[in-house]
Amino acid sequence: MNDLKKLEKKIVIKFKNKDLLRQALVHRSYLNEHKDFELDHNERLEFLGDAVLELVTTEFLYNNFSNPEGELTNFRAALVNRKMLAKISQEIGLEDFLLMSKGESKDTGRARQYIIANALEAVIGAIYLDQGYKNSKKFIEQHFLTKMDNILDDKLYQDAKSKFQEEAQERVGITPAYKVIKEWGPDHDKHFMIGVFLGEEKIAEGDGISKQAAQRKAAENGLEVKGW
């Protein structure tokens, strides 16, 4: 494992209990290949870190914005979603310190993004246990809350459907349409595949357990396809 001192230097925190930081970096797959490893995986720390991150961001938004609750919820989602967590993890260089199985180490796709996002939440949990709320808050302020201006400027708080519609109308003058391509499963467990169209052109598809969820996924995929 890479020297933890390098990571401590990057995050400007010196841990009293180094094992908390080490455990935050252990993905469960690593333990499958290293049965005698002395620490547990990071999922309990991730659970704690998720709650600390949500509290700090909620407190910040409540104190700094007079928007209604629904808008504050969207702001918070933009600050703490998996994409943002993965981005901040990469800025810190957290990936270089993770312990994963050989298979997981080779994966560079969405699964890897998910792992490094979860690890950052685990690190926040470790900071909270080792340093208390004050230093956890300071860490979150430095790495997350500084993104707020960018989120507002780029309207990253918008849900995918709203964003795709706004971009489509602005760029090509067309309002997106959503059409069910197929549905399957019994009534209590329905699944839907929905396409998002600009005129006659199908841009992307998305699936979900409701039409709304499938539309959101189609819009997310549409934004990715179009590079919007």
DSSP for 149-204, written as a single string: HHHHHTTTTS-HHHHHHHHHHHHHS---EEEEEEEES-GGG-EEEEEEEETTEEEE
From residue 197, alpha-carbon distances to 36, 168, 202, 223, 224 in Å are 53, 10, 4, 12, 14
Catalytic site positions: 50, 121
Q: Which of 196, 191, 192, 207 is nearest to 161 (CA)?
A: 196
* Structure tokens given for 201: 């052109």
DSSP H or E segment with residue 187: none
Contact 47, 113 (CB under 8 A): no
